[in-house]
Structure 1
Amino acid sequence: MRMKAMVARAYGGPEVLRLEDVPAPEMKPGHVRIRVRACGVNFADTLMVQGRYQEKPPFPFAPGLEIAGEVIEAAGDVSAPAPGTRVLAMSGNGGYAEEAVVPAGVCVPIPDAMTDVDAAAFAVAFGTSHVGLWHKARLQQGETLLVHGASGGVGLTAVEIGKIMGATVIATASSEDKLAIAASKGADHLLLSSDPDLKDRIKEIAAPTGGVNVAYDPVGGDMFDASLRTLAFEGRIVVIGFASGSIPQIPANILLVKNVDVLGLYWGAYARKKPAVLAESFRTLMDWYVAGRIRPHVSKVYPLAEAGEALTHMMSRKATGKLVIGIG
């Protein structure tokens, strides 16, 4: 059996990806075969193609760690999900293809109300933000939540989830257009990240709670410093990533004096280390989706042959919400 896939045979930029006719992946015990209908585009895909990601699949490989589609085959030792079941799954890589073989345990059934495109845009963005705010940061109703990169994939979902959890949300982004998208998801206060008085503006807004209770930071660099300097007593920073390219060095004396926590979050590790956390998170998120309380913001769907353009758009930092590759 053969299939179409966007394949990298060497490290480099998005231009190394080529649409090829390749052998379909082999079935393995404990796995299912999914006919991929859509694949979410993530910053991790850009790192994987460049050889800068923590996981380096052997060449040739297709990137794509977040897929949605239909189970078309199950290994003999798998009872669920059965063929015919619509699922989303974290594939690790290989999602930019017509078929993927993944462990049965990483598959989550898709509600009838959820489209394939929404499903492919759902797991990483909403899963990261929910585990970050609910499990790691213990965000409470009435607290002040500061979200950087608030129009991006994870930032926008943090705004949405923060509002559901009862927080007052301060959103920062690099343009007025991006801030308008954060406002559409419920952000209470909108600040340009380039504002020279950013720290003072955050402190002023967060004064009723004594400062920022939780800061959600997928950006790093100056935004991390703005978070650290504006935290309330016993405030928490959730470190998601470093989209700015600058990894902050944390002055430990500030942590001590302000009694604050800096919490790292690599969401993908929960599938191996604490799958029960992911299971509970997904139950909550799916209930919210079915109730109409959350929806992925998908700014563009690309055909498989244009996956390289999707990665280029992602790397330009001009994308808002999620980009998705539609397959078939």
Structure 2
Amino acid sequence: MKAVLCESYGPPENLVVRDIESLIPARDEVIIQVKASGLNFPDTLIIEGKYQFQPEMPFSPGGEVAGIVKSVGQDVTHLKEGDRVMAGTGWGGFAEEVRGKASNVFLIPDSISFVQCAATMMTFGTSYHALVNRAELKAGETLMVLGASGGVGTAAIQIGKTLGAKVIAAASTGEKLNYCRSLGADLTINYSKEDLKKQAKVLTDGKGVDVIYDPIGDKFTEPALRAISWKGRYLVVGFAAGDIPKIPLNLPLLKGCSIVGVFWGGFFRNEPEVNAKNFKTIVKWLEEGTVVAKVHKEYALENVAKAMNELTSKKVMGKIVFVP
């Protein structure tokens, strides 16, 4: 089978496409024939040795896939050959086959395309976990989403609206903010032109934001935190803008707020039953059309370097998906 391989840490141009042996499942695994796989920011970090965990070399990046079950391990009882599924894999997804831990592989209905599901797993899994399990976002609260036009940002906007929150989308261009409005964002902040803290306070009539969803970090975190409400919840999702920020701890003290870590990879490994419950809701919403995974562009595996460079250019709105 064909796979994108990282054989040494470095930029996307170092990745190679090779033919390798087909996979055999362990007792608690399934092997999935990949029909589509989603590209996420962590994929650009893992190939440079900068992510929270690193698989053994050589490995294929790609943490979310959709496809057809090819074979199942002997302990797997809820899945069978031929099932249509979506899966979070951590890595290995940029290939024609991938192994998935059965507890993080979920059946999908015929009415949802493989591309749609591949664009959903990590982004909606992360955002649902963040807003429901970690922040306990309530109807009527205000949610501010940083990096709102990206993959997890667009998922957070839609989930926030579905949960009944007022959503403020923050992004770097007018085009991105118009895109966020089309997804349901109520209010917007252009943080390349506007003062993030000041504008967030204005839009909340001085009260501050109840929940802040931050997948970008860097220079945006502290001004956003300064705009949080009393007993607000600040969700640390990632650092796509660059540096990991250092926060003055007097801010959560004075605000009475919580800074909450969100690591979906750790969550689905440690709490598979709760993650499975989350995905029952997400798949139901997808089937109903309540939420939609927005696809920016589809690529073949051979164009992995071009796709990754497009993602890191900060011009992507929604998700890039590979179709082997």
Whether these two folds match at TM > 0.5 is yes
Identify the residue that residue 281 of structure 2 maps to in structure 1.
284
| 1:134-188 alpha-carbon deviations (Å, 9 max, x no partner) | 1111111111111100000101111111111111111111111111111111011
Identify the residue that residue 78 of structure 1 maps to in structure 2.
76
User: Equivalent of 2:218, from 211, 216, 221?
Assistant: 221
Identify the residue that residue 109 of structure 2 maps to in structure 1.
111
User: Equivalent of 2:321, from 306, 321, 324?
Assistant: 324
* TM superposition shift of 1:276: 2.3
Identify the residue that residue 174 of structure 1 maps to in structure 2.
172
**2:131 aligned with 1:126, yes or no?**
no
Q: Which amino acid aligns with 1:265?
A: V
Are 2:103 and 2:272, in contact at CA under 8 Å, matched by a contact in 1? no
Kindly, what percent of the aligned residue pairs are identical?
42
Q: Which amino acid aligns with 2:308?
A: L
Deviates more, 1:272-281 or 1:133-142: 272-281
Identify the residue that residue 4 of structure 2 maps to in structure 1.
6
Deviates more, 1:273-282 or 1:81-90: 273-282
Cα distance in 1 for partners of 2:30, 2:63 equals: 15
Cα distance in 2 for partners of 1:246, 1:22 equals: 36
Identify the residue that residue 206 of structure 1 maps to in structure 2.
204
Shift in CA distance, 197/76, structure 1 to aligned 2, threshold 3 Å: closer
Deviates more, 1:88-97 or 1:20-29: 20-29
Shift in CA distance, 32/196, structure 1 to aligned 2, threshold 3 Å: closer
Structure 1 segments of 4+ aligned residues over 3 angstroms from their partners: none
Deviates more, 1:121-130 or 1:21-30: 21-30
**2:257 aligned with 1:260, yes or no?**
yes
**2:302 aligned with 1:305, yes or no?**
yes
Tell me the secondary structure at the aligned position of residue 207 of structure 1. coil
Q: Which amino acid aligns with 2:304?
A: A
Identify the residue that residue 247 of structure 1 maps to in structure 2.
244
| 1:98-137 alpha-carbon deviations (Å, 9 max, x no partner) | 1112222221001221100011110111111111111111
| 1:202-246 alpha-carbon deviations (Å, 9 max, x no partner) | 1011127x2111111111123211221111111111010111112
Structure 1's unaligned 5+ residue stretches are none
Cα distance in 1 for partners of 2:33, 2:218 equals: 40
Tell me the secondary structure at the aligned position of residue 32 of structure 2. strand
Deviates more, 1:141-150 or 1:267-276: 267-276
**2:282 aligned with 1:293, yes or no?**
no
Q: Which amino acid aligns with 2:241?
A: S
User: How many equivalent residue pairs?
Assistant: 324
Cα distance in 2 for partners of 1:213, 1:316 equals: 30
Q: Which amino acid aligns with 1:242?
A: F
Cα distance in 2 for partners of 1:267, 1:49 equals: 19
User: Equivalent of 2:37, from 39, 43, 46?
Assistant: 39
User: Equivalent of 2:16, from 15, 18, 21?
Assistant: 18
Q: Which amino acid aligns with 1:317?
A: K
User: Equivalent of 1:67, from 65, 68, 71?
Assistant: 65
Cα distance in 2 for partners of 1:196, 1:34 equals: 46
* TM superposition shift of 1:254: 1.7
Cα distance in 1 for partners of 2:77, 2:132 equals: 32
Cα distance in 2 for partners of 1:52, 1:222 equals: 19
Q: Which amino acid aligns with 1:44?
A: P
Shift in CA distance, 158/28, structure 1 to aligned 2, threshold 3 Å: same
Identify the residue that residue 157 of structure 1 maps to in structure 2.
155
Tell me the secondary structure at the aligned position of residue 303 of structure 2. helix
* TM superposition shift of 1:78: 2.2
What's the TM-score once normalised by structure 2's chain length? 0.97
Q: Which amino acid aligns with 2:77?
A: S
* TM superposition shift of 1:196: 4.1
* TM superposition shift of 1:314: 1.3
Tell me the secondary structure at the aligned position of residue 289 of structure 1. helix
